[in-house]
Structure 1
Amino acid sequence: MLAALATLLVFQCLGEGLSYLFHIPVPGPVVGMLLLLGYVALRPASAATLEGTALEILKHLSLLFVPAGVGIMVSASALRGDVLAVALSVAISTALAIAVTALVMRAMLRRQRRLSGGPGERA
């Protein structure tokens, strides 16, 4: 578990470093995740090693939102004049995320039915 955690942290640090060094307009952790995806694609056996640790971290994912929540509460006075804009952007982005997720899920279910030739297949 320690080696897997170290691997995850190394890729996050690599992503941060590359994002900073090359002024990439993408957050470092996202770059690190893309690097990790490439690593797992090249070495599929490493996915099994990382899976247990990743699932354990995901069990406690809600704790990772505490610093962001505290940051919002601390800077709430700075957002006081933009409450309507923030609320609208959150509502619209949430609705769009739900709609896109539903469309992708629908397309994947259709594809799965088509590939398996199961019941409910539409022409």
Structure 2
Amino acid sequence: MIRNIAILLVFQLGGEMLARGAELSVPGPVIGLGALFVTLLVVPGLAERMRDTANGLLAHLSLLFVPAGVGVTAHLTTFAEAGLALAAALVGSTVLAILAGVGAFLLTARLTGADGDE
């Protein structure tokens, strides 16, 4: 498990180095994740080996939201002043994201000729 976490961190570090070194606007962890994805496609044995570690991390993903919760409590005055606007933006963006997903699905189904009977 330690080796698998080290592999994840090496890919993140590589992505950070590439993003900062080339002054890219893409975050380093995103680049590292893309590189890891390609590597897992090319080396299927590595994907199988890392499966338990990835599932373990995903099972405890809620712990990663603790810093966000601390950030919210640190800015309670902002939420008090603009809470209604923030709530409207959150609900509106969620609805728009769902509609965009539905639209993309329908367009893909239409372009591929899928009729949903399968």
Please state which band the TM-score falls in when normalised by the shorter chain: 0.7 to 0.9
Computed over aligned residues only, the root mean square deviation of the Cα atoms, in angstroms, reads 2.8
Q: How many residues align?
A: 117
Per the alignment, do residues 97 and 74 of structure 1 end up closer, same or farther by CA in structure 2, a change over 3 Å counting?
Answer: same
Cα distance in 2 for partners of 1:18, 1:32 equals 9
Q: In 2, distance between residues paired with 1:73 and 1:100?
A: 31
Partner of 1:58: 58
- Over 6 Å off, 4+ runs: 106-111
Shift in Å, 1:46: 1.0
What runs of 5+ residues in structure 2 fail to find an aligned partner? none
TM normalised by structure 1 equals: 0.74
Find the aligned partners of 2:109 and 2:56 in 1 and give their Cα distance. 29
| Cα distance change of structure 1 residues 22 and 77 upon mapping to structure 2, 3 Å threshold | farther
Residue identity (%): 38
Q: Deviations over 1:33-74 (max 9, x none)?
A: 111112112212211111110011000111101111211221
| TM-score normalized by the length of structure 2 | 0.76
Cα distance change on mapping 1:9 and 1:83 into 2, 3 Å: same
Structure 1, gaps ≥5 residues long = none
